[in-house]
Amino acid sequence: MDMKGKTVLITGAGSGIGAACALRFASEGCRVILNGRNAGRLAEVEEEIRSRFGTETLTLRFDVRDRKAAEEALGSLPDEWRAIDVLVNNAGLALGLDKEHEGNLDDWETVIDTNIKGTLAMTRLIVPGMVERGRGHIINIGSIAGDAAYPGGSVYCATKAAVKALSDGLRIDLVDTPLRVTDIKPGQVETDFSMVRFHGDAERAARVYEGYRPLEAADIAETVWFAASMPEHVQIAEMLVLPTCQATAGIIHKEL
């Protein structure tokens, strides 16, 4: 499908998979709306897009956990940016790696509010317009963690299982429309994910990726692009993407 000139909104676009998706869509002539919390990072992505590809960008700075801010930001979109063709629900995080009976309740609230409620809010605010226009694609960034729990990750895994259920449910709800729904489920990807999970402990975060070659953010952006650019009658419902050395969430071959 010809994507040139399409409008794509990406949450969590300031770094990692979100930034890589923004660059990938921009490279194909798409107009990109960048969402995130960090103004400096968003500005860097916006500048890279403009300098490399010269495509149009627009930044909406808000936290997807803040529904009112999301409503106000989307309501402020200029008329020429309102017809969003692709929504990439990428914003998400994990905090801590504690046992379920020992975890931090505040961390859990942040994870649940971002990964589940943030995804729901963006979907609820944007998809009705897609239905009205008779076109659109919702791409949710899930995780292999949504398929099975792993030690210390029960809450994060639960949120990504919810993303899968929300994707499947939305696909059912939209089956009588031309809209498409995709759940992309990465395995180990080297981004700042582990830095966030371990509250800025760089040494601990680096150990997560030692001894093997993990995926890169650009690898996931390529799968997102693939799903979005397929012919309109083709819906990539779900895609599990792993580094070659990974079999399950907990089985990774490392050469240490």
Cα–Cα distance for residue pair 222/212, rounded to 1 Å: 21
Q: Which of 150, 156, 209, 212 is catalytic?
A: 156
- 85 alpha-carbon distance from chain centroid: 16
HEC readout, the chain: CCCCCCEEEECCCCCHHHHHHHHHHHHCCCEEEEEECCHHHHHHHHHHHHHHCCCCEEEEECCCCCHHHHHHHHHCCCHHHCCCCEEEECCCCCCCCCCCCCCCHHHHHHHHHHHHHHHHHHHHHHHHHHHHHCCCEEEEECCHHHCCCCCCCHHHHHHHHHHHHHHHHHHHHCCCCCCEEEEEEECCECCCHHHHHCCCCHHHHHHCCCCCCCECHHHHHHHHHHHHHCCCCCCCCEEEECCCCECCCCCECCCC
Closest alpha carbon to 186 in 9, 4, 5, 21: 21
What pLDDT sits at residue 256?
75
Domain segments of the chain as ranges? 7-241
- Can you give the pLDDT of all 256 residues of the chain as single tens digits? 899 999 999 999 999 999 999 999 999 999 999 999 999 999 999 999 999 999 999 999 999 999 999 999 999 999 999 999 999 999 999 999 999 999 999 999 999 999 999 999 999 999 999 999 999 999 999 999 999 999 999 999 999 999 999 999 999 999 999 999 999 999 999 999 999 999 999 999 999 999 999 999 999 999 999 999 999 999 999 999 999 999 999 999 999 7
Identify the architecture of domain 7-241 in CATH: 3-Layer(aba) Sandwich (3.40)
What pLDDT sits at residue 187?
98
Phi/psi of residue 123, nearest 5 degrees: -65, -45
Whether 212 is catalytic is no
